[in-house]
Structure 1
Amino acid sequence: MGVAGGEVTVTALTHRGAVRPANEDAVVMGALTVASANMTMPVRSVLPLSEPVVVAVADGLGGHAAGEIASEHAVHRMAEMSARLSSPDDVDILLKNIDEEIKDHATQHAEFSGMGTTVAGMLLLPDANYWFNVGDSRTYRIEGGQLRQLSEDDSPPLPPSDSGKPVTTNFITQSLGGSGSTAMTPHVGRDTEPDPSAWVMCSDGLSDLVSTEVMTRIINEAGSDEAAVHALWQAAMEGGGRDNISIMIARRV
């Protein structure tokens, strides 16, 4: 699939939104992480694919600073392991390890009980692309000028909206860490479409407030990925910005 190697351009922004006092989202781009940030302009990173690269967003859950700690731990561990992940099984094992590590930390610190984080992203190998997620953060493929969701929401099904606006819930059925008693099972799959490829990853601070149709229009009308990410963030803020907002566009060439 595709030509081995190449590079990926990642454009990212993470922001606390208009309501929350702090940003409990975090992002990872290969060995780079951004956590506890309040960015109003995107950053752009070009990463060679001579070795595996993970790009992902994480949305922390829990009171106090617990969500912030959980999401930051998740992205740091993914950054640490990024170049060593060579298969979907490696991603599955890493996410299960992060789940256990966050739960162990919460057990040792009562004030962090229930802390957890969602995650959604891509593992880009020299000859393959894999998507993964836990929770309701999302990964979309940009395909023929349209967005196709690859990730699988860990949230209960909801009736369709009469207004055309996104139908959302704050309830998720699993996360990394968290208070769930059932075993956490990551969603991991191969993106079988040929390169060159492009993906959008976001926390629900975007997808809950901006419909897929509007997201698609913004990306298609933007003159660059930096302009697209900034405009997506503005759209979420104009929609109320009631949650932290993280957005990434990754393009493999």
Structure 2
Amino acid sequence: MTLKLRSAGTSDRGLIRSGNQDALHSGTWLVAVADGMGGMAAGDLASAIAIGSVAPLDVETPEDALVAALQNGIQVATERIRQAVAEDPQRQGMGTTLTALLFARTGSCLALAHVGDSRAYLFRDGVLKQITRDDTFVQMLVDQGLITADQAGNHPRRAVVTQALQGDEVSPTYATMVPRAGDRWLLCSDGLSNVVRADTLAEVLAGQPDRDACGRTLIDLALQAGGPDNITVVIADVVDEA
């Protein structure tokens, strides 16, 4: 059995924002989503830098080198964002989330890197599980038992991220997992996860086998919910091509 990753990605400005500060990579070995922040031009630039920094990782990588490769990509992004701010002080405060998944050349392992409040979900055996943990103020309150997960969804400070790629030292979360044939990954910006319920995400992931159509359906649902933010979706399927 030879497992492969097959992906499709799409992005939409939404109905409120004047531009799209999200960026994505949908490749053979790597999928990633970045959600920029810090002003129109700077947000665009930060997310583009992040994706441009990890895109070269979309090559055959040994499983024991996956996490190191992602760490290096994030270090490159951090240095490039720092340089961009140094070149133009008006970019001060710009930053971006990054959620990236790198598939090993053997198909026996994958690694995930995450910082910010974009998300990675795994849909396996009919069950949707959020794999990443939001780096946000409200998630911190949830972890401390001060509010419930439902309350977090409507909290006035739900958009406050506690960690992002901004040119400073950062502590991303890294994890490795063993993929299975039939796994379906959803990587998305918060323009989707903030407005479409998890049970609805699961329904679409289960009912729409075509990756492009699945991504488009999810974006349409976010637009129907008001589309208050940029919406970016990457669908990645683990397939057996033996």
2:210 paired with 1:224 = yes
Count, aligned residues: 225
Q: Any idea what the Cα deviations from partners look like across 1:132-183, whole Å, max 9, x if unmatched?
A: 21100000111111211111211122422668x94461100111116xx6x3
Bigger relative contact order, structure 1 or 2 (CA pairs below 8 A, ≥6 apart)? 2
Is this contact kept in 1: 2:9–2:25, CA < 8 A? no
Is this contact kept in 1: 2:11–2:230, CA < 8 A? yes
SS in 2 for 1:228: helix
**Alignment root-mean-square deviation, CA:** 2.1
2:196 paired with 1:199 = no
2:1 paired with 1:13 = no
Shift of 1:215: 0.8
Is this contact kept in 2: 1:160–1:167, CA < 8 A? no
Which stretch of the first structure deviates more once superposed, 78-87 or 128-137? 78-87
> Aligned in 2, Cα 1:139/1:161: closer, same or farther, shift over 3 Å?
closer
2:39 paired with 1:63 = yes
CA distance in structure 2 between the aligned counterparts of 1:162 and 1:55, rounded to whole angstroms: 29
User: Gaps spanning 5+ residues in structure 2: where?
Assistant: none
Code of the residue aligned with 2:163 in structure 1: it is Q
TM normalised by structure 1 equals 0.82
SS in 2 for 1:140: strand
2:138 paired with 1:150 = no
2:17 paired with 1:80 = no
Shift of 1:196: 4.2
Structure 1 moving runs of 4+ over 4 Å = none
2:65 paired with 1:89 = no
2:89 paired with 1:101 = no
SS in 2 for 1:123: strand
2:176 paired with 1:190 = yes
Among residues 222, 228, 232, which one is paired with 1:246 in the alignment? Answer: 232
Q: Which has the higher helix share?
A: 2
CA distance in structure 2 between the aligned counterparts of 1:115 and 1:61, rounded to whole angstroms: 6
Which stretch of the first structure deviates more once superposed, 239-248 or 95-104? 95-104
Sequence identity (%):
29
CA distance in structure 2 between the aligned counterparts of 1:109 and 1:155, rounded to whole angstroms: 27
SS in 1 for 2:51: helix
Q: Any idea what the Cα deviations from partners look like across 1:99-155, whole Å, max 9, x if unmatched?
A: 122022112201211111101121001231111211000001111112111112111
Q: Any idea what the Cα deviations from partners look like across 1:175-214, whole Å, max 9, x if unmatched?
A: 1116xx6x30111101235344320000000001111111
CA distance in structure 1 between the aligned counterparts of 2:219 and 2:134, rounded to whole angstroms: 21
Matches for 1:154-169 after TM superposition, within 5 Å: 154-156=135-137, 157=139, 158=142, 159-160=147-148, 166-167=153-154, 169=158
What is aligned with 2:102? 123
What is aligned with 1:174? 163
CA distance in structure 1 between the aligned counterparts of 2:208 and 2:69, rounded to whole angstroms: 36
Is this contact kept in 2: 1:166–1:211, CA < 8 A? no
User: Gaps spanning 5+ residues in structure 1: where?
Assistant: 31-46, 48-52
Is this contact kept in 2: 1:103–1:115, CA < 8 A? no
Is this contact kept in 1: 2:53–2:74, CA < 8 A? no
SS in 2 for 1:226: helix
CA distance in structure 2 between the aligned counterparts of 1:200 and 1:88, rounded to whole angstroms: 20
TM normalised by structure 2 equals 0.85
